[in-house]
Amino acid sequence: MATTGTTSSSNRASGSITLDDVAKIAGVSPITVSRVLNQPEKVAAKTLEKVQHAIALTGYVPNLLAGGLASRKSRLIAAIVPSMANSVYAETITFFSKLLRESGYQVLVGESGFSEKQEESLISAVLSRRPDGIFLTGINHSALCRRLLVGANIPVVETWDLTPTPLDVVVGFSHERIGQAVAEYLIAKGHRNIGLVSATDHRAQIRQRAFIEMLAKHGITGISVSHVPLPTNFKAGRDGLADLLDNGFGKGAVFFSSDTLAQGALAEAQARNLAIPDQLALVGFGDQPYAAYTYPSLTSVRFDRAEIGQRAATALLSRINDEVTRENVIDVGFEIVERQSC
């Protein structure tokens, strides 16, 4: 969607799908479209279906603020994250919001709960308030979400992932490379018996696939895998490790899709009197603040959450102000931080 260059504010605003556009596509009057949106019970079934199809086709979102603003700018930024209970997302939003507040914007945060349907609902709701920009977590969105965002024609920053073809700008890191790097790290440490405890969200599954494929390239197959439900918590970590151990996983190393799961697994290992890392080595993901202070301290994959938030805010402000941007794919990288658990 975005390339290096400038776009005027007036062009961006005039490029949004309007009620008149929907009316033309549906072959009805603008008044009929308005009635469908506000009093659908008063519209004939065939007309209702025709207008609703045009709305879905164009990604049109009614402007609840029409006529209510002296300026075209709402000074509102919408941010959608999977969960605010997970501190890794909360920390990113904290730095994101701080920079935007300093520039005169307020951030409205919504939780998708790792659900595409919920993300669709949130995007539709916030677009009706005409935000000046949107922060999204991840790059995988439903077809409807994409139509809504393209139809709104406002700056969008996707985060926590990478793609060469973002909707507008993406700020994140490669989950595929993380999976590969952790596999190579464990192999270099001499591990051959390797397990995985993972959540089922899309990004965790990318890491899992890359992790298993890299191990297979080194001749390590038959990986023990335990999947746990979302949102993850300490209990799920205990349960995930218990599942591996109760199904025959012996001395070896386990990669967890979050530090939360890994910390729960530490408790399960200690309850079973397993020596860490001699009998069981653990690697987490996210390098949460407590990772360095667990006992034993937790080896984890670190990425700069503050940088993601700050660079996402900077990118949105640049797009809102029609400034020339040199890149629309921003890779913040990652590193494996080795501690006592591995």
Percent of the chain with pLDDT over 90: 77
Q: Is residue 40 in some structural domain? A: no
Q: Helix axis angle, 45-58 relative to 30-38, nearest 10°?
A: 90
Tens of pLDDT along 187-212? Answer: 999 999 999 999 999 999 999 999 99
Task: Note whether 169 and 182 are same-domain residues.
Answer: no
Task: Note whether 91 and 199 are same-domain residues.
Answer: no
Tens of pLDDT along 42-62? Answer: 899 999 999 999 998 888 887
Other CB atoms within 10 A of residue 72 CB: 11
Asked whether the predicted pLDDT for residue 272 surpasses 60, the reply is: yes
User: How many domains, the chain?
Assistant: 2
Task: Note whether 220 and 258 are same-domain residues.
Answer: yes
Task: Give the mean pLDDT of the chain.
Answer: 90
Question: What is the strand order of the sheet 252-256 is part of?
Answer: 224-227, 194-198, 252-256, 280-285, 299-302, 335-337
Q: Find the domain containing 182 and state its range.
A: 175-302
Task: Note whether 212 and 279 are same-domain residues.
Answer: yes
Task: Note whether 154 and 13 are same-domain residues.
Answer: yes
Cα 58 from Cα 274, distance rounded (Å): 58
Q: Is residue 44 in some structural domain? A: no
Cα 132 from Cα 243, distance rounded (Å): 47
Q: Is residue 23 in some structural domain? A: no
Cis peptide before 40 (omega within 30 of 0): no
Q: Range with the lowest mean pLDDT among 161-165, 236-240, 322-326? A: 322-326
Cα distances (angstroms) measured from residue 66 to each of 34, 59, 232 = 13, 17, 41
**Tokens describing residue 235:** 């209990």
Cα distances (angstroms) measured from residue 45 to each of 22, 40, 52, 59, 245 = 17, 9, 10, 21, 59
Asked whether the predicted pLDDT for residue 178 surpasses 90, the reply is: yes
Q: Is residue 88 in some structural domain? A: yes
Q: Is residue 340 in some structural domain? A: no
Q: Is residue 46 in some structural domain? A: no
Q: State residue 277's pLDDT score.
A: 97
Task: Note whether 169 and 316 are same-domain residues.
Answer: yes
Task: Note whether 144 and 208 are same-domain residues.
Answer: no
Task: Note whether 225 and 285 are same-domain residues.
Answer: yes
Task: Note whether 165 and 184 are same-domain residues.
Answer: no
Q: Is residue 82 in some structural domain? A: yes
